[in-house]
Structures are given as structure tokens and as C-alpha cells.
A and B are shown apart, each in its own frame.
Chain A
Amino acid sequence: MNSTLTISRLTKRFQGVSALSEVSLSLGPGMRVALLGHNGAGKSTMMKIILGLIPFDGGQVQVCGAAPGSARARAQVAYLPENAAFHPALTGEEQIRHYLSLRGESPRRASELLERVGLARAAGRRIGTYSKGMRQRVGLAQALIGRPGLLVLDEPTSGLDPVSRRDFYALLDGLAAEGAAILLSSHALTEVEARTDRILILSQGRLVAEGTLSDLRRRAALPVALIVTPAPDAAAALAAALPQARQADDGTLHLTCAQTEKLALLAHIATLGPQVADLEVIPPSLEDIYSHFSRRDGQ
């Protein structure tokens, strides 16, 4: 089977409380998958299980054809923890040199790696003096060591400014093109944007949605919002013509309709001609889609 990561019916309980229940997924080479969920939805738990850091109670997990946490799996998996931490007394370069040695690579490549993440000038300074974003970059640099088959990135873009975030996704694109499978977590759909191939949404330990962004958009079938601004003196006539609309305090008319009825409604508004001063169509936002899936279970 040509899959880098296969999880089937994974279940994990902490002292009787279910943290993950019956989660299944599979990741092939070159795939970028985003794992979304609230705090406590089970993202970090799942990542720690994939990395072999904690045991699980049921189901099966295969990482690069080996058991999670086995020497063979660890040799091919790179990890970026949520808050990348390092010993403050070491310099960035010393830390990366050590990680290179642990992976059996030449420590001389440290400066090249630090340059790739934009830390070349701070390489000789102690990590204790770094900002959060800089520590995150050290974490990213160590995750790039030696062509990993699977990258597990826990909230990698938290603490990065928008420009760094773009650079980060460009790096990921390069890694995915080389055949690495990437699993990254986030607590917001807006953060992963369109830079991933597939989106998984976890809610209370259950996988509640899976697919591409447009899949999710279609499946959520959230209503489209329309805002109609009446022409001067036409407010009353327009309200009569659109009885389903709600009138806002500023005089604009707010309507919602299903995706399928959108065109018919637009055609109807178009027939009202000069009574309409302006028309705005607002598709459901990424946040709305995410909330739709992650809150479906009893929230």
C-alpha cells in the first residue's frame, strides 16, 4: 500500500474520558492535510499518538510502514511541537547541529538550514534571547532535517507574522513536491487558507468532516447572505417587494437564501430596477463553514 500514514478506528481514552473515538484517515506522499478543531478536540493527542509519544487504546496506526514510535518510523518522521522549546543556553546553530547528528546527518549543514528559515544572522546567539517567532523557526529548521517522509506540525503558524506565514507555506509546498506527506493542525480554517489539499475537522475526539475546502463548502450548504441598499425614497416599496427581508437600522435589507436559490433571487432583485441602489452578496466565510462542522455535535 502506498500510504505514508494510515490510521483506522483509532480510539484513545484518558481516565475513562474519550479523547479520540474511531478516527480513520490516510495520507499519501505529497499530500498536505490540515487538521482543524477547537482546543481539546483531540488534535495534539492524535499527533502524539502518530509520533509514538503516547500509547492508544484501540485501532491501528501505521507510520511509513512501521509502528508509531519505532526506530524505523522515527527516522522518517519530523515533528514541530506547538510551542517549540529549546535549551536557552544553547545557540540556534548548536541546537541544530545536535539535531543533525541525532539524525545521522553532517552537522555542517546547520547554517544552510538556518538560512532556509531566515535565521542565518541569529545563528550564533543564544536561543534564550530569541523571540517566539524565532524559536518557531528553529523548530521549523529542525523539522526540515534529512528529507522526512512525514511532517507532523502542531499549530506551525501560530506566532508567525503574515509574511513569515507565506514563506512557511512556500517551504511546505517545496517539501510536498519532493514527496513528503504533511499533517498540520490549526484551530482556525482561515489560517490554513487554500494551502492544503484536504481538511479534516475534529470535534470532541470525532472526525466530523473531511474533504477539500470546496467539498466542505458544498456539504455545509450554508445560506448566502444578501444585503440590498434601497434607492432614496424607495425603502418602503422595496420592503414590500421583498417581504422575506429583515430591515436593519441603517435602512438596508438583509436576506438569506440557500445556494441553489441564489440566482433566482438575484434575478428577482434585478427586476426591481431603479428601486435598488446597491446589492452585496456575501458567501459563507471560512469561519462559518468551520463553525458549522465543529459545532454540530451538541454545542
Chain B
Amino acid sequence: MIRRILSTAALEFRIALRNRWVAIAIGLMVIFALVLAAAGAAPTGDIGADRLSVTVVSLTSLAVYLVPLLALLMSFDAIAGEVERGTLPLLLTYPVARAEVLAGKLVAHMAILALAVGAGYGAAALAAVWVDPASTAGLPALWRLMWSSTLLGATFLGVGYALSCLARRPSGAAGLAVGLWLGLVVLYDLGLLAMIVADGGGPLTGRVLPVALLANPADAFRLFNLAAAEAANAAAGMGGAAATIPLWQSALSVVLWPLAALGLAIAAFRKVTP
């Protein structure tokens, strides 16, 4: 089983390398991270935190938008593309389980995301440490951001595979992926904001808001990193909501979502008849 998954992963990685997805993902992350590192230089000193910890807080906001987008862009074609090229029927006659096919693709795409995230955050960290040697205090926060970003990516990869199975056509899958990104990453928070305003900070907000934030993988990721940063006193006042939700709950959401998304993808793939 491991061998079939690794072979699939190696093949997918090679395809992504040839399609320049690896270069695009790494390039995007590095450029955005460096821009943020430069722009985020101003507030240092005011809040008494080291420079890298401040950068990590900015990078969290970047990751919430960029990582899901990259993950969906890589995954929407995963099954729909095979259907369109006509390669799926042959693959499914091989003694390889559908879950193994998806696992192989997931391993390859996660490796690419981890590379991109590592390169981007690494570049930002180098810039921070170069300017302010005390920044090494922020390295644990950076490490936490790296692995949680990769898990956030895994969640959206899994959901992207599921959409790819449902849409059957790459164009349809791309549309669904963009819609999902807009919904979960942008509109969801606007909706919550509208709810808070309408409720006027009443009892509904207190009960519904934490659950709503934990239920969204992007919000849970943001909460997790901000809450952890708050504990380190780097992001004082930046995560009002983060303070009310225990760290273990957002951590659990960050870890469980990728598994749920993979389960969803496998269930959707089982329904595909070539």
C-alpha cells in the first residue's frame, strides 16, 4: 500500500514540477511573505515583542488567504482532469484502491505546499533575524505557523479533491473551488461580522460565534495561531475572539479538519463511475 501511495505521490510531484506548479507556489509565497515582512516592520517596539513574532502574526493573515487558494488551485484538477484526459478508467482497473490514489496525490500536493510555506516563511524569518537578532525568540511561533499552514492546506486540498469528483469537468471544478474559497475565507467572516453587529454583542454572539469560528478551518487556523501568539504577548489586542476560545479547541479543529476533508474526498471519489 505504501509503495503504491509513494509511487503515485512521486508521479504527481513530477507532473506538478513540469507544470511549474512548484515554482509558482514557492514564488508566490516568498514574494508575499517578503512584502509583509517589509511592511510589518513599522509597529515593532510599540508592543514590546521581537520582530519575528510580529511578522508571524502578519504571515498568519497572509496564510489564511493564500494557502487555501494555492491548495484549491492544485487540487481542483486532480480527478476532473483525469476524467477529461481519459486516464481515469485505466487507472481504476489497476489493483490500487481509490483511497490510495487520493492519498498519493495528497502527499505530493502537501509536500509542494510545505515547500512553498517553508520557503516563504523562511525568507521572512531570515529578513527579520537579519534586522533584529533578538527575533530568534519568535522561531517556535514560526514553526507552529508552518505546520498549521500545511495542515490548513491539506484541508483545502481534500475539499478540492471532493469538488473535483463532484464536478467531473475541470472548468466546473475550478468554478466550485473559487466559490468555496470566496465563501469560506472571505464571505464567512463578513457574515459573522454582520451577525455580531445585528446582535449588538448579545448572548447569541457569545454562544454561536466560538462554534462558528471553530467550524471554519480557515478561522480555526487563524484563531490557533493568534491565540498562541497572544500567549507569547506578541499580538496583544489583535485577537479579541481568540482570547475567549481555549487553545486546545482551535488546535483540535486545525488537526481534525484535514482528516475530515480527506474522508469527504474519498467518499466523493467512490461515487465516481468512469
Q: Does A32 have its Cβ within 8 Å of any Cβ on chain B? A: no
B11 near A90 with CB under 8 A, answer yes
- Selected from A48, A71, A83, A89, the residue in CB contact (under 8 A) with B95 is A71
Q: Which of A46-83 contact B (CB under 8 A)?
A: 48, 51-55, 71, 74-75, 77-79, 81, 83
B15 near A87 with CB under 8 A, answer yes
Q: Does A272 have its Cβ within 8 Å of any Cβ on chain B? A: no
Residues of A within 8 A of B85 (CB): 85-87
Q: How far is the CB of A86 from chain B (nearest CB, A)?
A: 6
Residues of B within 8 A of A94 (CB): 11, 14
Given A85-B86, A89-B19, A90-B15, A103:B273 Cβ within 8 A: no
Contact with A along B48-81 (1 / 0, CB 8 A): 0000000000000000000000000000000000
- List the A residue with the shortest CB-CB distance to B101: A102
> A237 to B8, alpha carbons, bound, how many Å?
79
A81 near B95 with CB under 8 A, answer no
> A85 to B273, alpha carbons, bound, how many Å?
17
A-B CB contacts (within 8 Å), total count: 70
- Count B interface residues, CB 8 Å: 23
- List the B residue with the shortest CB-CB distance to A143: B90
Q: Does A98 have its Cβ within 8 Å of any Cβ on chain B? A: yes
Q: Which of B174-218 contact A (CB under 8 A)?
A: none
Q: Which of A74-128 contact B (CB under 8 A)?
A: 74-75, 77-79, 81, 83-87, 89-90, 94, 97-99, 101-104, 107
> A139 to B7, alpha carbons, bound, how many Å?
19
B93 near A90 with CB under 8 A, answer no
A74 near B15 with CB under 8 A, answer no
B19 near A98 with CB under 8 A, answer no
Contact with A along B78-115 (1 / 0, CB 8 A): 00000001110110111111000000000000000000
A74 near B87 with CB under 8 A, answer no
B7 near A102 with CB under 8 A, answer yes
Q: How far is the CB of A138 from chain B (nearest CB, A)?
A: 11
Residues of B within 8 A of A142 (CB): 90
Given A85-B85, A87-B85, A53:B92 Cβ within 8 A: yes
Q: Does B240 have its Cβ within 8 Å of any Cβ on chain A? A: no
Q: How far is the CB of B78 from chain A (nearest CB, A)?
A: 12
A77 near B7 with CB under 8 A, answer no
> A102 to B3, alpha carbons, bound, how many Å?
8
Contact with A along B2-21 (1 / 0, CB 8 A): 01100110110011001100
> A53 to B83, alpha carbons, bound, how many Å?
13
B93 near A77 with CB under 8 A, answer yes
A83 near B86 with CB under 8 A, answer yes
Given A87-B85, A102-B96, A79:B19 Cβ within 8 A: no
Given A85-B87, A86-B87, A101-B4, A53:B93 Cβ within 8 A: yes
> A51 to B10, alpha carbons, bound, how many Å?
26
- List the B residue with the shortest CB-CB distance to A51: B93
> A75 to B10, alpha carbons, bound, how many Å?
22
B3 near A53 with CB under 8 A, answer no
> A142 to B87, alpha carbons, bound, how many Å?
13
B273 near A53 with CB under 8 A, answer yes
Residues of B within 8 A of A139 (CB): 90
> A78 to B90, alpha carbons, bound, how many Å?
9
Q: How far is the CB of B103 from chain A (nearest CB, A)?
A: 13
Residues of B within 8 A of A79 (CB): 89-90, 93
Residues of B within 8 A of A51 (CB): 89, 93
Residues of A within 8 A of B19 (CB): 89
> A209 to B38, alpha carbons, bound, how many Å?
78
- Selected from B8, B86, B95, the residue in CB contact (under 8 A) with A103 is B95
- List the B residue with the shortest CB-CB distance to A83: B86
- List the B residue with the shortest CB-CB distance to A142: B90
- Selected from A54, A87, A90, A102, the residue in CB contact (under 8 A) with B273 is A54
Residues of B within 8 A of A52 (CB): 93
- List the B residue with the shortest CB-CB distance to A88: B85
- List the B residue with the shortest CB-CB distance to A52: B93
Given A53-B89, A83-B86, A102:B94 Cβ within 8 A: yes
Residues of B within 8 A of A81 (CB): 86, 89-90
- List the A residue with the shortest CB-CB distance to B17: A89
> A75 to B4, alpha carbons, bound, how many Å?
13
Residues of A within 8 A of B3 (CB): 101, 104
Q: How far is the CB of B170 from chain A (nearest CB, A)?
A: 14
Q: Does B274 have its Cβ within 8 Å of any Cβ on chain A? A: yes
> A145 to B151, alpha carbons, bound, how many Å?
37
- List the A residue with the shortest CB-CB distance to B85: A85
Given A89-B19, A101-B3, A53:B11 Cβ within 8 A: no
A residues lining the B interface (CB < 8 Å)? 48, 51-55, 71, 74-75, 77-79, 81, 83-87, 89-90, 94, 97-99, 101-104, 107, 139, 142
B residues lining the A interface (CB < 8 Å)? 3-4, 7-8, 10-11, 14-15, 18-19, 85-87, 89-90, 92-97, 273-274
10 intermolecular pairs with C-beta atoms under 8 Å apart: A51-B93, A83-B86, A90-B18, A94-B14, A98-B8, A101-B3, A101-B7, A102-B94, A102-B95, A104-B95
